[in-house]
Amino acid sequence: MLKSVLIANRGEIACRVIATARRLGLRTIAVYSDADAEAPHVLMADEAHRLGPPPARESYLLGDKIIAIAKASGAEAIHPGYGFLSENADFADACKAAGIVFVGPPGSAIRAMGLKDGAKALMQKAGVPVVPGYHGERQDAKFLREKAYEIGYPVLIKAVAGGGGKGMKKVETHIAFEEALESAKREAANACGNDHVLVEKYIQSPRHVEVQVFADSHGEVVHLFERDCSLQRRHQKVIEEAPAPGMTPEVRAAMGRAAVEAARAVGYVGAGTVEFIADGAKGLRADGFYFMEMNTRLQVEHPVTEAITGLDLVDLQLRVASGERLTVSQNALTPRGHAVEARLYAEDPENGFLPSIGKLWSLDLPDAPVFAFESGEPIRIDCGVQEGGEVSPFYDPMIAKVIARGATRDEALDALSEALSETIVAGPRTNVAFLKALADAPDFRAGRFDTGFIDRNVESLGATPRPPDAQSLRVGAAQIYFGAQWRHSVAEPDSPWSATDGFQLSGARRTPLKFLANGEVAEAILAWDGTGADPQAEIDGILAPMANPRGDRATHVVDFDGGAYIVRAGRQTEIRPYDPLDVDVEGGDHGDSVVKAPMHGKLVALFVAPGESVAKGQKLAVIEAMKMEHMLVAPREGVVHAVGGTPGQQIAQGAMVVAVGEA
């Protein structure tokens, strides 16, 4: 067995690897960027070494520097986790050349399967069905557009080296192809340093089913059954489960054989995932699935496989990397029960799932085992951040993974739903409420879903703009009123104006109270009954006592500098005092409509300049945040009066990007 390992990653996967490595008695070495100097994975490891500034290209993607740190620290092996360098064949080869064990497949296997176009050609040669499309080398836009027309719309543009939805665009019409291609290539280059793409037919009613494979260096290959990852948005997985609903022994055997043969064909070693797209219109069938790609690494969703097999996949990775034989045989493997995983993200489902950053003022996760299931426990939490830490704009916005298991699918989903109800996050906006709505959605519960499920049901899942929760506003009014009174009474304890009893000779009275809710002016009516009792807050005609708002178990109040977050049913409302003198004058005196950055990110493209006329809906700029691109468009017809940055510049959330006004 290896005696030491460097984890070339960050966040929850780095913590996950460290947890198993320490259990096996390995010395653990972490690396970190300046943004992660106090991160949990740094604190968990036996030692940690700085890589560089926050951007991944200046830190976690510096393969040569990571290998140098490994050699200097005496690390026998490097575990790449997922993302970053995990599927970089040159890095795997460089580790081997340096005499360091790469915990993953050989570079030759990564090259064969790591690029989607080459992998599809290999599978076609092996007789595995692949999705119709163009998987060749030519990359000029005119040629690819012609191929898309031949394939027939809708088509899917996919980065050959991408993953997690990076560099992937669905295109519905011929006229939209070139713009989608440009965006896909930019995302692909930024995420993985390779802008080559393929174009393939978009399958209607698709189910995304993947098979976990494991191979040792002695020629043994097994599959650990399948996972269904069909609940996606923007091609990014949201909820994963194992086994796949509706899976039959016949289809499982066919998929498993195809996955194992794919691994054998490239001399695979370690953990890998063979991904298939299935036409779900008629249910899962042995003749109705197609090879998509192979991920030559551990997957984010590996805990659900661990739950139904009882295996620790990181343990297996480290043992295989040590040269040991697999101790599990295909005939002895049987899936047990059901497991489901929800990815808790710092993002705003009510605002187009835009990434959200900032300080985690509260992170209250269910009381459950971390990084591994314990006997009898239905919940497991994998998390790589901590309360008081920051969600930065430089990396994937995942906060944690909530994994549930049960004897049946319904039991697992019930456990997940309950765990999400207990999850309280304040600071960055999150998808907690959205995840719970998904776990409870009747059609999903009944197995009637495909990869388009979320897009078809965004409104019923609460992923559209909604007004703040009324009860949260009442509680917010209490925070503003009593907070102001408390501050005044401390400053002038003997002043009659410090009294909070509302007593007056004329009896009952009503007073409006203005405050800011999510940056917008809100108003509650404070109502005193004349008896000296604390007031009640009236919003939407409903009165609610304000004296003890925290007594409502469903409502959570988290104070922060200058205000409070009110969290109810997974939704967050930011409350601040209202200052009528605090006027936003950004944008000048022209009555401009100011287009602001919806999140912190990099301005990757600016399409207009001051003095140019624009039409409503015209594209103005592109901001890239957390490896995804977001288009900004003109809110009105007019003339550009000002721009707030240049391409390549970092833009803060809320900063002006373009101001559009009258000519």
Catalytic site positions? 297
DSSP string, 372-395: S--TT--EEEEE---TT-EE-TTS
DSSP string, 469-529: PHHHHHHHHHHHHHHHHHHHHHH-TT-GGG--S---TT--EEEEEEEEETTEEEEEEEEE-
**Closest by alpha carbon to 132, among 113, 154, 111, 110?**
154
Distance in angstroms (rounded) separating the CA atoms of residues 375 and 366: 17
Distance in angstroms (rounded) separating the CA atoms of residues 30 and 434: 33
Q: Provide the CA 482 distance to its chain's centre, in angstroms.
A: 37
Distance in angstroms (rounded) separating the CA atoms of residues 615 and 620: 10
Whether cis (ω within 30° of 0) applies to the bond prior to 154 is yes
Distance in angstroms (rounded) separating the CA atoms of residues 504 and 60: 65
Q: Are 376 and 309 in contact (CB under 8 A)?
A: no
CB proximity list for 560: less than 8 A, separation 6 or greater: 359, 361, 426, 427
Q: Is the four-CA dihedral 532, 537, 540, 543 of positive or negative sign?
A: negative
**Closest by alpha carbon to 597, among 631, 565, 637?**
631
Residue 447 DSSP label: T
**Closest by alpha carbon to 140, among 193, 197, 202?**
197
Distance in angstroms (rounded) separating the CA atoms of residues 67 and 460: 49
**Closest by alpha carbon to 390, among 10, 66, 648?**
10
Residue 291 main-chain phi, psi, to 5 deg? -65, 135
Distance in angstroms (rounded) separating the CA atoms of residues 96 and 77: 10
Residue 446 main-chain phi, psi, to 5 deg? -85, 0
Distance in angstroms (rounded) separating the CA atoms of residues 242 and 227: 5
Residue 160 main-chain phi, psi, to 5 deg? -65, -25
Distance in angstroms (rounded) separating the CA atoms of residues 561 and 396: 26
User: Distances from the Cα of 206 to the Cαs of 35, 84, 150, 229, 260, in angstroms?
Assistant: 39, 28, 21, 11, 23
Q: Are 239 and 439 in contact (CB under 8 A)?
A: yes
Whether cis (ω within 30° of 0) applies to the bond prior to 243 is yes
Two tokens, residue 386: 């901590």
Residue 469 DSSP label: P
**Closest by alpha carbon to 417, among 570, 249, 220, 644?**
570
